[in-house]
Structure 1
């Protein structure tokens, strides 16, 4: 006989704890957004207090559930980041994003080897710590780009596109590094033999999905989407049209994250490229509508002008008739605009993401921070030194904006000959912003460090693990706080030098 779930009223204590947990996640998020322009720090703090590190008001089963629910929020914010990306800009900035990502990976790992002479870390343990600190919190980056109000969508600027591309690459490589550390920590012959296969599989899947999806989207998904839109044009001005678009995005989103994860790479990569597909389809849809609207207005103006002397007399008496006709047609069109993919996402998903899923995600990061053991004598100052090293390691990524040729310009971004010149002098604010946005490690760094600590042959002992956690936590505070401060101070000038 199949088991049966029996419904009963939940205990009042559970209701009160969960109710105030959700409320305080948003309250502290708002307070830290007002104080530091980094609301996620307040949500991480609430996770520490309510979760296992301190009060343990949330049962372990609840915390496990919230980790899953919060990860859905992370995947959705990555999906939104891909949907907000301009594909033409991303293509032109791909070499720059690659250089930023490589710097963000290699410099932290290289500087982490200083832990061997400074704190007597074994070389392999220094590499494990560097692997954890080489990551970039993609969820934090996207939240920072979405949070501050600059009067324009910074994610669609050249600066934001280069930053997102680099963060996604860092995440994919961090996923590969986590697999490497897991296999090395097994210290078995089968693990060593499987290492090359895992690395090759992850790299092959990452590039393979990109190469397959480009022609698939351009010649199959795109034309099919436009055909369906045209054959169902009467329903696209109703709520049923929005729900149809939402169903399409849900299928695409779930299919890509499942496909990438089961194939052997990060599901965050699948969410990002699913967002890129939505960005392409949305631009294609908008361009088609503009063309159709222009043809409709031209046809209407031609009809109103008519032919012969009556038409000539009417044109002379009403010289602005065609303009008024165009405005009338545009007004009639805007009364019932057809839903778009991005508009549908913002209507249904964005409020849920802002007030529920993202707060739960950042709160779940707090569950994994061993708060009390962190305050052990020498681990504090060692963690502080390591955090300073890792802050400079990621901030170095911003240098690329000073020396890179700005896409669409005729000259280089600047040189160091005789000091920073030309566009480099104008780009320094964007370089600082990019560097600070790359600093936060967040969930990816915590995941890799815990893998290294919990393998059968630990790659980090307890003190080394706590030093690494100190660096991750401090970097996750410094990065968002710095971005919030500079955005408040500089505003739109962060994209000066051609990076708008």
Structure 2
């Protein structure tokens, strides 16, 4: 088969199996995203190794599929932002700040403590802590959308906390790399912080003042799906700007782009167009590719103990840290628990931080394998834990009638 036919074959398998697995997961009372994550693990190198079957000769096939998955998570976070109102987020800014900051500091501190007790060099122990501090809320956001709770106090607090989490993790990581290399210091950390502020300022200013005018102009022009295409251009631009200007995660940029588009007159048109594109194609690919990124054969038996330890610390550290932060922000104990669980998943962000440590030799290949296992475990346990925390007669009430739709 030609490279294109090989890609078509792999996409057929991924999309079909993702939807089947998602359906079966819902029939078992779990979020559909859990089934998509598990089928990705089965299709990945841990079992079937779909992208490396005997007749697959295209060496770039897996990379192409993974990049399609990256588009999926950008679209997912754009939709999450599109569903929300900026004023609702600002009302929860206090709880978001406390939960985001403590949700980083507590697991980082616990990870450093574990590394120190294992007689790791101080720099290695600290970096192990940093790998536990990262959060990826894309999995939790999708689960909350299915539960129709994205616009609840917990959902708003969770997404706001994720922004603070992203900022703090990047600052800590940048500061660590600068100090550990011996070629930087406070000036480098200040530069990173200023770049974040520059990105946030530019993105909000553009979204508040220029974007509505551009949307109105495009909507009056005889262009097929012009506004939807514009939204795709803007969300990618925000993602690029987040990475290149603010040194933040691209998903933070696309989330902000969604918030900005949510204020425009074309919100409903953009939402229907992007939702169909996302959930029919790119988002299922993203959830499946998480499993395609993991090879359980690389997790050696002699690190199982470490894997279980850092997984337990990774889960409890986020629940305790973010949960206490939410409680300080005057959430109820139940809401604090729900928000803490929502921060547990490390997803692709955890893998990126771990890869930085491996590349710079701040963690060994064995520690890296354990961290990859921790990322997988925290990603898999988050959807059922989050659903269970809402499965009670006393649920968190949305701030207004929810308009989320189950994909």
Q: For this structure pair, what is the TM-score category when the shorter chain's length is used for normalisation?
A: 0.7 to 0.9
1:162 aligns with 2:87: no
1:72 alignment counterpart: 71
Give the match's secondary structure for 1:120.
coil
Contact 1:45 1:366 in 2 (8 A): yes
Contact 1:172 1:265 in 2 (8 A): no
Partner Cα separation in structure 2 for residue 497 and residue 85 of structure 1: 11
Partner Cα separation in structure 1 for residue 323 and residue 290 of structure 2: 26
Structure 2 residue ranges without an equivalent (≥5) = 53-58, 403-407
Partner Cα separation in structure 2 for residue 19 and residue 370 of structure 1: 22
The within-5 A match list for 1:126-137 is: 126-137=125-136
1:268 alignment counterpart: 251
Q: Compared with structure 1, are the counterparts of its residues 466 and 261 closer, same or farther at alpha carbon in structure 2 (3 Å cutoff)?
A: closer
Contact 2:140 2:386 in 1 (8 A): no
2:298 alignment counterpart: 373
How much has 1:360 moved relative to structure 2? 1.2
Partner Cα separation in structure 1 for residue 46 and residue 185 of structure 2: 34
Partner Cα separation in structure 1 for residue 224 and residue 324 of structure 2: 43
The within-5 A match list for 1:331-350 is: 340-341=266-267, 343-350=268-275
Task: Report the TM-score, using the length of structure 1 for normalisation.
Answer: 0.70
1:57 aligns with 2:39: no
How much has 1:216 moved relative to structure 2? 4.3
Question: What is the number of equivalent residue pairs in this alignment?
Answer: 393
Q: Which of 237, 251, 262 is residue 233 of structure 2 equivalent to?
A: 251
Structure 1 residue ranges without an equivalent (≥5) = 1-7, 286-339, 406-412, 414-426
Contact 1:453 1:460 in 2 (8 A): yes
Contact 1:104 1:170 in 2 (8 A): yes
The within-5 A match list for 1:14-33 is: 16-33=9-26
Contact 2:199 2:246 in 1 (8 A): no
Task: Report the TM-score, using the length of structure 2 for normalisation.
Answer: 0.85
1:468 alignment counterpart: 371
Partner Cα separation in structure 2 for residue 351 and residue 483 of structure 1: 25
Partner Cα separation in structure 2 for residue 106 and residue 11 of structure 1: 46
Q: Which of 378, 388, 402 is residue 485 of structure 1 equivalent to?
A: 388
Higher RCO structure (Cα 8 Å, ≥6 apart): 2
1:399 aligns with 2:324: yes
Contact 1:101 1:170 in 2 (8 A): yes
Deviation by residue 1:363-420 (Cα, 9 ceiling, x = unmatched): 222233230132513x212221222222111112123343434xxxxxxx6xxxxxxx
Deviation by residue 1:446-475 (Cα, 9 ceiling, x = unmatched): 1211221233xx111132223322322222
1:84 alignment counterpart: 83
Partner Cα separation in structure 2 for residue 114 and residue 58 of structure 1: 39
Give the match's secondary structure for 2:135.
coil
Give the match's secondary structure for 1:210.
helix
1:359 alignment counterpart: 284
Q: Compared with structure 1, are the counterparts of its residues 65 and 460 closer, same or farther at alpha carbon in structure 2 (3 Å cutoff)?
A: same
How much has 1:80 moved relative to structure 2? 1.4
User: Computing the radius of gyration over CA atoms, which structure comes out larger, 1 or 2?
Assistant: 1
